[in-house]
Chains A and B, each alone.
Chain A
Amino acid sequence: MNSLIVISILAIVVLYLGLFKAKNAVLPVTIIGLIAALVLSIMEWNSGAAPIYSGMMLFDNFAVAFSSLTIVSTILILLLSKNYFEKISENVAEYYTIILFALAGIVVMVSYHNMAMLFVGLEIMSVSLYILAGIKKRDFASNEAALKYFLMGAFSTGFLLFGITLIYGASHSFDLEVIKQYVINRPTGIDPMFYVGILLMIIGLSFKIGAAPFHFWTPDVYEGSPTLITVFMSTVVKTAGFAAFLRLFSVCFAPLAEDFWMPTLLVITILTLFIGNITALYQTNFKRMLAYSSISHAGYMLFAIVALGATSTNSVFIYAAAYSIASIIAFGVLILVKEQTGGENFNNFNGLGKKNPFLAFVLTISMLSLAGIPLTAGFIGKFFMFSTALAQYHIWLIVFAIINAVIGIFYYFKVIAAMYFKDTERKELTSTPYYKIVLSVSAIVTIILGIYPSLITDLF
């Protein structure tokens, strides 16, 4: 729990650093603070957690794992931010502060033990993100992104809240444990209100993770926001959304899966897979392609919830880790390419294999990982998801997933083809040491997890 306190205080400290014009100290302080939070979080591993703060939160292994993952991803992303925010505005400290506040919300989201905390965490995160999306004040696309995100987000939060109240109405509690007991003790006599509540919560959470048909905000918001914020949204925020989703459904609603919500979610999953993938296929803009592909990855991650079982947590964890790291590489390279060639289309990547072999190589690893090719973490993620889904005999779901994995090859390999097989006259692309560190660490982690996933999968 200490990590939440550290992150919250850190956010305020960073804000004051900005106030006193200590610009150069902002990034180091943030990183050191986050590392401290990470260590504190890991120290609570296997500490036999019990609900704390009057049963509001539960910092169990699930929470430790996911908050550590989100903190690590945030550290990697912020390391890329050196000199990035300066180009957008004078007051850099605000960016770090708001990102840290969002992270604080995320830690709450992965460790809630009470519906009220779920809502509070989700709102802390969302409000921060609305601001971050629109932080390029004079940029039209950024404003559009923020407004769209805010309106849609507010709506979905409304659905979520409505769902929570209906569930409260039926079970007389916000506490996850009490709701669980309510479901177990009344196998037949569950209030209809409760069912409606579950549906509304599915809608609210599906919006947050960008699952179809609640995905329409994703491409515009991802494209309009500054790229570094897009990385944050598509990795850390998505991971948190899934952790929250999974926690709620595996703790409270698991017994109702077969009879009630599983078919609904199955439809959402299949829609998400196809819509994300097929639309990604037609993109010429790399960033937009990543946005749509992130929708399809949400579809794969939903497998774990559709086929709720013993390996679900593990699968979501490894998939989220693999996907986050690969996305950080992809967006990181994109930032460099855009800065130096002025565009973010596929043809801006032409000849990168010659101009900068290092960038091309790490981006290849990232694309292979996103496409799910063995020896990368992405394959292990897909393998776990397939195993989880097959364990519940969702054979057709896997057949759809295979079709989608094949579609995915088309657009991921488009980038590889552009980098290695097409030539273009362009001067060398350079990268800064920070980028080199983040990108190589991410690439190495991708490979290591791909070869020996037991490092993190044996945790649960």
Chain B
Amino acid sequence: MDYLLLLLVFPLIGSLACLLNKKAAKETAFISSLITLAYAIVLLTKFVPDDSRQFVVDYPWIAQFGIHFKAGIDGISMIMVLLTTGLIPLIILSSFNRTFKNSSALYALILFMQFGLLIVFTALDGFLFYVGWEIALIPIYFICAIWGGVDRIRVNMKFFIYTFAGSLFMLLGIIYLHLQTTGNSYDIDAFYALDLDSVTQGWLFWCFFIAFAIKMPIFPFHTWQPDTYTTAPTMGTMLLAGIMLKMGIYGVIRWLIPIVPIGFMEWKQLVIILSIIGIVYASIIAFKQKEIKRLVAYSSIAHVGLIAAGIFAWNAEGVQGGMIQMLNHGINVIGLFFAMDIIIDRLNTQDSSQMGGIAKVAPKFAIALLIIILGTVALPLTNGFIGEFLLLNAVYQYQIWFAAVAGLTIIFGAVYMLRMYKHVMQGELNELTSKFRDIKGSEVLVMGIICALIIIIGVYPKPILNISAAAVDTLIVQVNSKLAF
């Protein structure tokens, strides 16, 4: 049975259904995403958490180049599938109070993007991976450029050019690897089995790394990110920050490091340094920000920098920490952007200096935002803690001073996030904020789910860590054995 194929097909059907059912596109999209989520949970129950690939589908696609439609799920992919299928319903639900022009197209694009994302996270064939990578990009471009804010055309053109340029270099790398394989193949195992010399691995590393670094984004490839996040409609921002940037991190774990381990070792230190520069740099800018949405955008760069540093340190703690932190960051950042969206929508301003005292008129909202912020700043017993702890531990094992600097992210994060909370939620009410309505209906539901996830994962992360543990260990052993020569 092709269990996996069904998972990929659901969002596609949902996307078409949204286009056909114009009147209730929102509801159609929500139900469709719930079905996909339910199906993903069914897969999870059938999933055996060992290091094997499961539910593998394999069909010949373009015979001449040995391209197959080959996809499967192992522990690492499973986390990503859960992230994608779990967050999309939340993102759609978060928009229930909004009306959009031409909303059927918007929801169809979101589900189409989900299709692309699921391909990326399950692909076991280089060509398929690339195709999924681009399929995920096209819808988000249109979402941000059609439904976005001021200056959206220029900002999104920059975003698109950046990511497209990066991915073309990746395509170059993929085709080159294909030409080196013995059996005319794009299969990931054939890529793993290659034994390339260090010069080739060096430049192949950059071919892939540029694509992934732009997507994450790692300093200095991040310049598209704050503008794009700020001008995009909130759903678009959630998709970008919550799910899409994880494509880059996933790509590093699945494709970059195992395929060119020698190239990776060569450039590892540089990447970790860049990541740490990114952490500090983004934190400082976030600290200075008055625009709340932009502040969250910069904080995202800082958090992703830590994930990248932990993964590039390449030990079991780091990769495991990266895996769980991807999930947590997705949940937290969606919560944050949703909260920012509620504030901006009701007050009609981005500027935190004009706000204050919202906690008094909106207690439910205040509690929810506080929990999300605590999760983001990695307070123990919230979800952020376990991930950042493992990641810092990994960097520490690599280089103690790097860990010291990277650890600043937690302190910085607490400072700018709590400062923002103070400015926005506490203090005196003013004319603008006194009319603030508390959250209700679907907003309460979204916030409730997010807060519940933050606390549950924070208290008991083990089941999630278990999903990917075996796969991560095997991958690290496999890479290290290639490096031993």
Residues in B neighbouring A406, C-beta threshold 8 A: 161, 164-165, 168
Q: How far is the CB of B455 from chain A (nearest CB, A)?
A: 40
- A420 sits at the interface (CB 8 A): yes
Chain B: interface residue total (CB-CB under 8 A):
29
Contact with B along A396-438 (1 / 0, CB 8 A): 0011001001100110010001001110000000000000000
Assess the A421–B131 pair: CB atoms within 8 A.
no
What sequence of 0s and 1s flags, for each residue 177-199 of chain A, a beta carbon within 8 Å of any chain B beta carbon?
A: 00000000000000000000000
- In the complex, are the beta carbons of B172 and A398 less than 8 A apart? yes
Q: Which residue of A lies closest to B165 (CB)?
A: A406
Whether the Cβ atoms of B62 and A457 lie closer than 8 Å is yes
CB pair A417–B64 under 8 Å, yes or no, is: no
B142-178 toward A: CB 8 Å interface, digit per residue (1/0)? Answer: 1001100000110001001100110011011001101
When the two chains form their complex, are residues A410 and B157 in contact, meaning their CB atoms are under 8 A apart? yes
Q: Which residues of A contact B152 (CB under 8 A)?
A: 421
- C-alpha spacing A391/B179, complex, angstroms: 7
Q: Does A373 lie within 8 Å of B142, measured CB to CB?
A: no
Asked whether any CB of chain A lies closer than 8 Å to the CB of B65, the reply is yes
Out of A368, A398, A410, name the residue touching B138 (CB < 8 Å). Answer: A368
Say whether A311 contacts B131, CB under 8 Å. no
The verdict on A458 contacting B63 (CB below 8 Å), with A399-B172, A409-B161, A417-B145 known, is yes
Return the contact of B153 from the options A314, A417, A454 (Cβ within 8 A): A417
The answer to whether A457 touches B164, judged by C-beta atoms less than 8 angstroms apart, is no
Is A390 touching B63 in the complex (CB atoms < 8 A)? no
In A343-395, which residues have CB < 8 Å from any B CB?
368, 373-375, 379, 383, 386-387, 390-391, 395
The reply on B27 being an interface residue by CB < 8 A is no
B130, CB-defined interface residue at 8 Å: yes
With a CB–CB cut-off of 8 A, which chain B residues contact A379?
134
Contact between chains at B157 and A374 (CB < 8 Å): no
Contact partners of B134 in chain A: CB under 8 A: 373-375, 379
What is the interface of chain B mostly: helix, strand, loop, or mixed?
helix
B165 pairs with A420, CB closer than 8 A: no
A395 contacts across to B, CB distance below 8 A: 172, 176
What is the minimal beta-carbon distance from A96 to any residue of chain B, in angstroms? 38
Contact (Cβ within 8 A) A390 B153: no
Instruction: Assess the B130–A420 pair: CB atoms within 8 A.
Output: no
Contacts of A255 in B (CB 8 A): none
Q: How far is the CB of A450 from chain B (nearest CB, A)?
A: 9
Q: Which residues of A contact B145 (CB under 8 A)?
A: 417, 420-421
Q: Which of A110-153 contact B (CB under 8 A)?
A: none
Knowing A311-B64, A374-B135 are in contact, say whether A420-B142 is a contact too (CB < 8 A): yes
Q: How far is the CB of B381 from chain A (nearest CB, A)?
A: 44
Interface string of B171-196 (1 = CB under 8 A from A): 11001101100000000000000000
Query: In the complex the two chains form, is B61's CB within 8 Å of A454's CB?
Result: yes
Q: Which chain B residue lies CB-closest to A454?
A: B62
Q: Indicate the member of B63, B138, B178 with the most A CB atoms within 10 Å.
A: B138
Known: A386-B172, A390-B179, A402-B169. A409 touches B164 (CB 8 A): yes
Supposing A406-B165, A406-B168, A420-B146 touch, asked if A453 and B62 sit within 8 A by C-beta, the answer is yes
Please name the residue on chain A nearest to B145 by beta carbon.
A421
**Alpha-carbon gap, A420 to B179, bound state (A):** 40
Query: What 9 pairs between A and B have smallest CB-CB spacing?
Result: A374-B134, A402-B168, A374-B131, A406-B165, A390-B175, A417-B153, A421-B153, A387-B175, A398-B172
Q: Can you list 28 A-B contacts (CB < 8 A)?
A: A373-B134, A373-B138, A374-B134, A374-B135, A375-B135, A383-B127, A383-B175, A386-B172, A387-B65, A387-B175, A390-B179, A391-B179, A395-B172, A406-B164, A409-B160, A413-B160, A417-B153, A420-B142, A421-B145, A421-B146, A421-B152, A421-B153, A422-B153, A453-B62, A454-B63, A457-B62, A458-B63, A458-B64
Interface set of A (CB-CB < 8 Å, partner B): 311, 314, 368, 373-375, 379, 383, 386-387, 390-391, 395, 398-399, 402, 405-406, 409-410, 413, 417, 420-422, 452-454, 457-458
